[in-house]
Homo-oligomer: A and B are copies of this chain.
Amino acid sequence: MSEKVHATVGHHYIVEASGCDPDIIGSVERVQQILVKAAEIAGAQVWAISFSRFPPNGVSGVVVISESHISTHTWPEYRYGALDIYTCGKGVDPEKAVIYAVDAFGAATSHVTEITRGIDEGDTIFFHSFVTWEEDLKKKVKKDKKKDKA
């Protein structure tokens, strides 16, 4: 039973990346390359991609992976990118994808919440829990880590 329940568990990183390079996050081609590479770094298999201009200057994109999805929506005029990386199953490491993507965006700082999804207590009533932190990529430190069971 424990193995079956584990199959529903996923790790979903919600990221607000600030201080990004506007030339990078304003380019549909570069953002697509970064997210596909992030999927590969996580060890995920890419099934489909969809990237387009997010008016006025941003990029909106989704990479559907075998283990869930990676998506972004960017606002170069504010040097801001919203990023989601959600993976299920074993053999994938979404945190590596997060670190790669925010670094490739040129982000100075990130506000990150990691949501553990699809948890149950054996009763098939599913819930999620989360932990939040700020990450200063220049210092490579995590601070103000805050855990909460939602």
Contacts and interface: CB of A to CB of B under 8 A. Distances in A.
Contacts of A26: none
Contact of A16 (B71, B73, B117): B117
Number of copies: 2
Nearest to A62: B62
B68 A126 contact: no
Interface in A13-65: 14, 16-19, 47-48, 50, 52, 60-62, 64
A52 B68 CA distance: 11
A86 to B, nearest CB: 8
A124 interface: yes
A127 B150 contact: no
A146 B61 CA distance: 31
A80 B120 CA distance: 10
Contacts of A82: 8, 10, 117-118, 126
Contacts of A77: 4
| 10 closest cross-chain pairs (CB), A and B | A16-B126, A48-B50, A132-B150, A111-B127, A18-B125, A62-B62, A18-B126, A50-B64, A80-B126, A8-B75
17 contacts: A4-B78, A8-B80, A10-B82, A16-B117, A16-B126, A16-B127, A18-B125, A48-B62, A50-B64, A60-B64, A61-B64, A62-B62, A62-B69, A73-B86, A80-B120, A80-B126, A148-B148
